[in-house]
């Protein structure tokens, strides 16, 4: 079994930062679970274009507020504590922080390896050796 705390992960290179968000990647490909698990903070008032063409992702909001817009149909969904959004179609989207930072728990299939750069045209490259 593996046990990690958010506190210790935040103090390591698992924590990555971008202009609009930061994310602590608590479980990654090398754990061989077939998915990765991240605690991500979306900063208040930000607007981020994301399109995970190579990954499926689900995101659960623990605190804060915001919204997500799916680009294909222009639909806007409110995000609040208790909301789970499921990108089952590799949905291209805009993720917007509201009045307060949003704390999210995120899972990816296939897992991220942790080396993905966050230039965030919304796309992370697929890791061909993924076990996912």
Can residue 96 be called a binding residue for ligand 9YT (CB under 6 A)?
no
Nearer to ligand 9YT, 1 or 18 (CB): 18
Strands of the 93-97 sheet, one edge to the other: 47-50, 93-97, 66-70, 76-79
Can residue 41 be called a binding residue for ligand 9YT (CB under 6 A)?
no
CB proximity list for 15: less than 8 A, separation 6 or greater: 9, 22, 23, 24, 25
User: Which tokens sit at 33?
Assistant: 């679970």
Which of 51, 21, 50, 52 is CA-nearest to residue 36? Answer: 52
Considering only 14, 25, 55, 96, the residue that binds ligand 9YT (CB under 6 A) is 25
Can residue 83 be called a binding residue for ligand 9YT (CB under 6 A)?
no
**Would you say 49 and 55 are in contact if contact means Cβ atoms under 8 Å apart?**
no
Q: Least CB distance from residue 128 to ligand 9YT, whole Å?
A: 19
Considering only 104, 107, 111, 130, the residue that binds ligand 9YT (CB under 6 A) is 104
Return d(Cα 60, Cα 37) in angstroms, integer. 11
Nearer to ligand 9YT, 75 or 86 (CB): 86
Residue with CB nearest ligand 9YT? 23
Can residue 40 be called a binding residue for ligand 9YT (CB under 6 A)?
yes
Which of 33, 37, 42 is CA-nearest to residue 114? Answer: 37
Size of the site for ligand 9YT (CB under 6 A): 10
The site for ligand 9YT (CB under 6 A) is made up of 23, 25, 38, 40, 50, 57, 59, 104, 106, 118
């Amino acid at each position: 079994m593996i046990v990690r705390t958010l506190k210790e992960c935040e103090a390591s290179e698992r924590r990555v930062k971008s202009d609009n968000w930061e994310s602590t990647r608590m479980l990654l490909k090398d754990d061989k679970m077939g998915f990765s698990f991240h605690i991500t903070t979306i900063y208040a008032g930000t607007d981020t274009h994301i399109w995970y063409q190579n990954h499926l992702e689900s995101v659960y909001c623990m605190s804060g507020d915001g919204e997500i817009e799916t680009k294909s149909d222009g639909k806007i969904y409110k995000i609040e504590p208790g909301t789970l959004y499921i990108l089952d179609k590799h949905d291209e989207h805009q993720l917007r922080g509201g009045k307060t930072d949003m704390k999210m728990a995120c899972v990816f299939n296939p897992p991220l390896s942790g080396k993905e750069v966050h230039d965030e045209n919304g796309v992370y490259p697929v890791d061909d050796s993924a076990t996912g």
